[in-house]
Amino acid sequence: MKPWQLSRRIDGLSEEIAEPTQAETRIDINCLSQPERQLFERIDEIIDEYKPASPPKDVIEKTADLWNKGLEIFARRTMELFVDIMPASLCCDELEEWYFKLYFHNFLLDWIESVHNLREMPKEQHDALLCERKEMSILDKVFRLHRSQPQTVKTLKRAEGSAH
């Protein structure tokens, strides 16, 4: 499918869904492995024990490993779904699928590294950076970070050859 065909198809779908209904996205418990189900059943038991309120902070801290593992499972399953669905929906061939997976993988690693750096940053520096970003009014905006152009092995070899 050519880019203009994809644009036309997306525009047509957008018109058909002019006013989409709001819905929750849920992960079906049946798609989880037995150990994963048991983990979520244990978390549900803890939540049920303290209904209608939330579990107290000390209970959450005591069972932090369960909560963190649950969040990890949700994150992993969500990423797996995204990485399967997006290329199947938008890519025209295996090269486009490869580029999607390559860029997504690199995005994820860059993001993890950025979060690590933010968490290692001294509190004063972190607060100053946050204050600066708020003053610039960019916390609710996104923009393009320019990356290098994809190159082929032939292009790289030519560049190497002309450098010598």
Taking residues 95-105, what's their average pLDDT? 93
Q: Which of 1-5, 86-90, 155-159 has the highest mean pLDDT?
A: 86-90
The per-residue pLDDT for 4 is: 65
Whether 42 maps to a domain, the answer reads yes
Residue 80 sits in the same domain as residue 114: no
Q: Is the confidence at residue 142, as pLDDT, over 80?
A: yes
| Residue 86 sits in the same domain as residue 98 | no
- Domain span holding position 74: 27-90
Q: Per-residue pLDDT for 48 more than 60?
A: yes
Residue 44 is assigned to a structural domain of this protein? yes
59 lies in some domain:
yes
Where would I find the beta strands (DSSP E) of the chain? none
Number of separate domains in the chain = 2
Per-residue pLDDT, 19? 64
11 vs 135, higher pLDDT: 135
Whether residues 76 and 130 share a domain: the answer is no
Residue 6 lies in a domain: no
Q: State the pLDDT at residue 163.
A: 61
Taking residues 44-71, report their average pLDDT.
Answer: 92
Tell me what pLDDT residue 18 has: 62
* Lowest mean pLDDT across 21-30, 78-87, 105-114: 21-30
Q: Exposed, middle or buried, 151 (CB in 10 Å: 0-12/13-18/19+)?
A: exposed
Closest CA to 46 of 58, 61, 33, 63: 63
100 shares a domain with 71: no
| pLDDT given for residue 31 in this prediction | 86
Residues 81 and 100 in one domain: no
Please check whether residues 63 and 43 belong to one and the same domain: yes
> Which residue shows structure tokens 């292009």?
155
| pLDDT for the residue numbered 27 | 77
In a domain, 2, yes or no: no
Report the percentage of the chain scoring pLDDT > 70: 80
- Taking the CB of residue 87, how many other CB atoms lie within 10 A of it? 19
Q: Is 67 found in the same domain as 38?
A: yes
Average predicted confidence (pLDDT) for the chain: 85
